[in-house]
Amino acid sequence: MAYDFHSNSAYYLKFLSENARRSILPFVSTHLPADATSWRVLELGCGEGGNLLPFAEAGAHCTGIDLNGVKIEEGKVLMGDWVKAGRMELYAEDIFNPEITSKFTGQFDLIILKDVIEHIPNKDKALLQMRLFLKDTGLLYIGWPPWRMPFGGHQQIADSKLVRVFPWLHLLPKRMYVGVLKIAGEGKAAVDELAEIHDYSVGINQMNRLYKHSGFRMVAELHYLINPIYEYKFKLKTRKQFGLIQALPWVRDFFTTSCYYLLGKAAK
């Protein structure tokens, strides 16, 4: 599959952690208590724990949950020093497991959801579960690529050189999109993954409705013309979105490669 860094856990963890250190941690930290050692941080869809590393370095107690047991086991090795020090816990679990719900209800100052929301089928249910895990003053960070942006379908993971550099290809109707992927020679695993992302897509306007419906309020937001992580993946310089484009609801989705939202609990 294209972009083999996804299969190199140590390398992928390195640039995820650097991106989190430079863009995610500064975005959320000014809205958290000054003493980072008091933070309890949870990442959902954590993989090997790369996004958590800067928070552990800052002194926070970190917890990661992922359905992929292989990644969790790799993370326990790569993050071994932090795990042994009691500063990081990694679980191969489902957040809806009653034991997890009981253990983590009302426990966290911050939940991180980075490039995960677009893979979740029942977003309303998931967001309500995250709200349950937060303290009353807790915050939810969501970073994701809006669906209508040039590569919002994650087609850059394709094997076909043409598919992975073809902007907005994913906006074709699903049946047509899948047909194009097959003609381009994509294997079943890649086609299934890209088709699933097509099903679970989420744009900016949809996300705004989702978080409000799930009992959250906006604390801070950033829109990017060039996603910060593209510096590591594609050597492109990070660029925040132009104010004019961000102000145009039916235009911004097509030209915003990443959104950072920081959400707090809305009053019931």
Q: DSSP letters of 4-20?
A: GGGG-HHHHHHHHHHHI
The amino acid present at 132, given as its one-letter code, is L
DSSP-assigned letter for residue 236:
P
Residues 6+ apart with CB under 8 A from 16: 47, 50, 51, 229
One domain for residues 120 and 187: no
One domain for residues 77 and 108: yes
Stretches where the chain sits below pLDDT 50 are 1-5
Length of the chain: 268
One domain for residues 46 and 165: no
Q: How many domains does the chain have?
A: 2
Bridge partners, residue 108, by sequence? 134
One domain for residues 142 and 174: no
Query: What's the CA gap between 198 and 185, in Å, rounded?
Result: 18
One domain for residues 94 and 141: yes
| Domain extent for 110 | 4-146+201-265
One domain for residues 215 and 188: no
One domain for residues 139 and 159: no
Question: pLDDT at position 133, please?
Answer: 98
Question: pLDDT at position 37, please?
Answer: 97
pTM, rounded to two decimals: 0.94
Provide the 10 A C-beta neighbour count for residue 96: 11
Pick the closest to residue 25 from 114, 125, 91, 107 (CA basis): 114
Question: pLDDT at position 123, please?
Answer: 97
Question: pLDDT at position 1, please?
Answer: 40
Query: What's the CA gap between 67 and 47, in Å, rounded?
Result: 9
Are 230 and 238 in contact, with CB atoms under 8 Å apart? Answer: yes
Per residue in 27-74, pLDDT (tens digit) is 999 999 999 999 999 999 999 999 999 999 999 999 999 999 999 999
One domain for residues 115 and 220: yes
One domain for residues 196 and 208: no
Question: pLDDT at position 2, please?
Answer: 44
Question: pLDDT at position 15, please?
Answer: 86
Question: Strand 108-114 relative to strand 40-44: parallel, antiparallel, unpaired?
Answer: parallel
Query: What's the CA gap between 45 and 102, in Å, rounded?
Result: 19
